[in-house]
Structure 1
Amino acid sequence: MASAKEIQSRIKSIQDTMKITNAMYMISSSKLKRAKQVLSDTEPYFYGIQSAIGRVLRHMPEMEHKYFDERSDIPKEDRKTGYIVVSADKGLAGAYNHNVFKIAEECMEKEAHPQLFVLGEVGRQYFAKKKMDVDMNFRFTVQKPTMHRARVISEEMIERYLKGELDEVYIIYTRMVNAVSMEAEMSQLLPLKKADFHTPAQVMVDIHQEEIEMVPSAEEILNSMVPNYLHGFTYGCLVESYASEHNSRMMAMDAATSSAKDMLKDLSIQYNRVRQAAITQEITEVIGGAKAQKNKH
């Protein structure tokens, strides 16, 4: 059994760790609230652009456009696929990073020419250790997502897609389902699918739809709106991941604090037993000494 001094040292160490886990919990809680607010503030803009693109497509259903070009003439073995993986800049967030990495690895195994673009330091280190080909010029932090950062990321993907360097672009991120549940998922950025912009009302052909005039042309309107839509979509993914990361960290720190409390309870019992044993030993020695002195007389 450990000595009382050793147990006291362990108790102090655990108490110090608890202070850190409690502090990290509070910090993540504050950041999560801000992220949720940012997400709710930007969603109307994002859905507004999505709806506007849907209106254009409803009036021009047969229109061919570069952002909707699936390049079906390119066989699967020649297709170049880009994956944007949104990880964290630090760990201690439960399975948050692992779930995203798992999807990325499964997808890349199926592709002939995958290209990996990683956001977050944890992801870059993980794939570097795996000796996987990561675009090291694509270095962005995931802390405090901004629309500017989302625009830079999406513009680079758009440029590579239009130049033919990429035939498909996906983003792998974590979505907050609710306060206690996060889900890693993959969404396609490019090419866009027309079906994603159809609402149930638009599918019903018998309903009279409004008449609109497109100036200078439907193609030019989409050239302007689609990049903004992709900026907004990317930004939404970054904010969702940021909120999910801090929610995961809150849950992990809460679990760590609970475990620490249980350990302290067990160590406190051990410490009391050691003290009682020491006191009993001292009493026994005193009584033994007294008896020895009495027997001498």
Structure 2
Amino acid sequence: MANTKEIQKRMKSIKDTMKITNAMYMISSTKLQKAKKKLADTEPYFYTLQQAFQRILRHTPDLESIYFRDTEHIPVSEKKVGYIVVTADKGLAGAYNHNIFKIAHSLFEQGGKNSLFVLGELGRQYFAREGLRVHKHFKYTVQDPSLHRARMITDDIVERYQRGELDEVYILYTRMENAVTAEAEMRKLLPLEKDKFAAKLPVDVYQETLTPQPSWEKILNHLVPNYVNGFIYGALVESYASEHNARMMAMQSATDSARQILAQLSIEYNRVRQAAITQEITEVISGAKAQKRKK
């Protein structure tokens, strides 16, 4: 059994750790609130772009464009697919990164001409360790998502798509469903699917005539990158919020565990201390009896 000094030393170490986990919890809580505000601010812009596509496709359902091309006929082994993988720069966030890595691994096990575009330091380290070739590292910190960084990623990906280097583009990120649950998911960015923009209108609703100036292709060359940029930015912000939400839960769990250990150590400390006091009393009584017998 450990002595009182050893138990006190361990209790002090746990209390110091609790200070760190509590501080990390508060920091993540503050950053989570900022991320939620950013997400709320971008939603109107994203929905407006969706409505613009709905309006265009409502009037020109047969619109032909590289952004709406059909890739179903391309064999899986020949299809050039790009995956933008959003991970964290730091750990201590529960299963946040693991869930993304799990999806990425399953995709690469299927074979095909896959390309990885990675954000986040932990993602870069993980794929290097696993021996998976990363086509490009976007060396931006994911701790402070911005429209400028999202635009840099968008310009690179869209340019590769336009040149035919990629047939399809997906993004792997973490979507926060509520304060407790976050799900890693994959969403298709390119090519766009017309069915997802279909909107049913009542028969008696007036539909104006749209005349493209100078052409639909040039309009789409402007709209599509903005739409993709909005989605990537939203995914970065949502992943950022999910990361801090996961870290809050992990730090809360660590703090609760530390409290339980402290409670157990406190009981053990009291037992050891009581045993030491009992031993001292026994020794004093034994000594007194010995002195009495000598007299």
Q: Taking structure 1 as the reference length, what is the TM-score of the superposition?
A: 0.96
Counterpart contact for 1:56–1:218, Cα < 8 Å: no
Q: For residues 71-90 of structure 1, what are the structure 2 equivalents within 5 Å? A: 71-90=71-90
Counterpart contact for 2:154–2:232, Cα < 8 Å: yes
Counterpart contact for 1:53–1:222, Cα < 8 Å: no
CA distance in 2, matches of 1:206, 1:219: 30
CA distance in 2, matches of 1:208, 1:80: 42
CA distance in 2, matches of 1:133, 1:205: 53
CA distance in 1, matches of 2:213, 2:231: 25
Q: Secondary structure at the match of 1:61?
A: coil
Query: Which stretches in structure 2 are left out of the alignment for 5+ residues?
Result: none
Residue 58 of structure 1 and its aligned partner are, at CA, apart by 1.2
Q: Which residue of 1 aligns with 2:284?
A: 286
Amino acid at match of 2:26: M
Shift in alpha-carbon separation, 1:40–1:265, aligned structure 2, 3 A: same
Counterpart contact for 2:79–2:112, Cα < 8 Å: yes
Aligned length: 295
Q: Can you list the C-alpha shifts for 1:195-246, whole angstroms capped at 9, x where unaligned?
A: 1111233xx6675423333222222211111110110010000000000000
State the identity %. 63
Amino acid at match of 1:65: S
Q: Which residue of 1 aligns with 2:217?
A: 219
Q: Which residue of 2 aligns with 1:271?
A: 269
Amino acid at match of 1:269: I
CA distance in 2, matches of 1:148, 1:12: 46
CA distance in 2, matches of 1:33, 1:50: 26
Amino acid at match of 2:64: E
Q: Which residue of 1 aligns with 2:6?
A: 6
Shift in alpha-carbon separation, 1:243–1:137, aligned structure 2, 3 A: closer
CA distance in 2, matches of 1:192, 1:6: 64
CA distance in 1, matches of 2:190, 2:115: 14
Q: Secondary structure at the match of 1:165?
A: coil
Q: Which residue of 1 aligns with 2:190?
A: 190
Q: Secondary structure at the match of 1:19?
A: helix
Q: Which residue of 1 aligns with 2:117?
A: 117
CA distance in 1, matches of 2:135, 2:203: 46
Shift in alpha-carbon separation, 1:47–1:12, aligned structure 2, 3 A: same
Residue 167 of structure 1 and its aligned partner are, at CA, apart by 1.0
CA distance in 1, matches of 2:7, 2:233: 50
2:199 aligned with 1:199: yes
Q: Which residue of 1 aligns with 2:30?
A: 30
Q: Which residue of 2 aligns with 1:18?
A: 18
150-159 vs 63-72, which moves further: 63-72
Q: Which residue of 2 aligns with 1:169?
A: 169
Counterpart contact for 2:124–2:137, Cα < 8 Å: no
What is the CA RMSD across the aligned residues, in angstroms?
Answer: 1.4
Amino acid at match of 2:93: A
CA distance in 1, matches of 2:189, 2:136: 21
Counterpart contact for 1:88–1:142, Cα < 8 Å: yes
Counterpart contact for 2:100–2:173, Cα < 8 Å: yes
Residue 168 of structure 1 and its aligned partner are, at CA, apart by 0.9
Q: Can you list the C-alpha shifts for 1:80-134, whole angstroms capped at 9, x where unaligned?
A: 1111111100000011111111111111211311111111111111111111111
Q: Secondary structure at the match of 1:178?
A: coil
Amino acid at match of 2:179: A
Q: Which residue of 2 aligns with 1:209?
A: 207
CA distance in 2, matches of 1:277, 1:85: 58
Q: Which residue of 2 aligns with 1:133?
A: 133
Q: Secondary structure at the match of 2:77?
A: helix
Q: Which residue of 2 aligns with 1:255?
A: 253
Shift in alpha-carbon separation, 1:101–1:137, aligned structure 2, 3 A: closer
190-199 vs 72-81, which moves further: 72-81
